[in-house]
């Protein structure tokens, strides 16, 4: 998937998780709901395999990730753990790190790795799109 496709898929998945959270109830404010949805499990890691391979390579080579935001660092360490787990489960594999990361990024992620403010912006934008689709459908 290309970066724009990944962002669209992430935004749709985040909005669906948000709607599931609202159905469960217990979130009186949008801020609380957005904070909670960030910690919900995601259907996959929304990162390109090449970038994931680069992040894992940095960890393997001891390069600092301090210049990255906290979400990216958490994701990099989770990807590294899954990479090592994959290597343990598949000893003697001759696949490159990038090919392994193509498999790993498709695995379910423990969270969305974005901040609450970004989640709110995404939710508002997706809600606006959904309303526009609904309005077009009602006009037919």
Tens of pLDDT, residues 3-52: 789 999 999 999 999 999 888 887 788 888 888 999 999 999 999 999 99
Domain holding 57, by residue range, is: 47-108
Average pLDDT of the residues in 67-87? 93
| Same domain as 115, residue 103 | no
| Same domain as 37, residue 15 | yes
Of 68 and 130, more confident: 68
| Same domain as 84, residue 58 | yes
| Same domain as 79, residue 56 | yes
* 3-state secondary structure (DSSP) of residue 96: coil
| Same domain as 64, residue 115 | no
| Same domain as 71, residue 36 | no
Is the predicted pLDDT of residue 2 greater than 80, yes or no? no
Question: Can you tell me the distance from the alpha carbon of 50 to that of 40, in angstroms, rounded to the nearest whole number?
Answer: 25
| Same domain as 102, residue 54 | yes
Q: What pTM, to 2 d.p., does this model score?
A: 0.84
Number of domains in the chain: 2
Average pLDDT of the residues in 82-87? 94
Q: Are 90 and 97 in contact (CB under 8 A)?
A: no
**Rg from Cα positions in the chain:** 18
C-alpha dist (Å) from residue 55 to 37, 47, 133: 25, 11, 38
């Amino acid at each position: 998937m290309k970066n724009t496709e990944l962002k669209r898929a992430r935004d749709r998945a985040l909005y669906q998780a948000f709607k599931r959270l609202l159905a469960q109830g217990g979130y009186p404010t949008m801020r609380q709901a957005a904070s909670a949805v960030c910690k919900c499990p995601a259907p996959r890691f929304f990162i390109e395999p090449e970038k994931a391979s680069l992040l894992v390579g940095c960890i393997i080579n001891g390069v600092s990730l301090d210049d990255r935001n906290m979400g990216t660092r958490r994701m990099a360490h989770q990807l590294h753990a899954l990479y090592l787990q994959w290597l343990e489960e598949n000893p003697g594999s001759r696949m490159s790190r990038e090919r392994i990361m193509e498999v790993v990024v498709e695995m379910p992620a423990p969270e969305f790795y974005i901040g609450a403010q970004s989640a709110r912006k995404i939710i508002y934008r997706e809600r606006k799109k959904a309303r526009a689709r609904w309005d077009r459908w009602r006009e037919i």
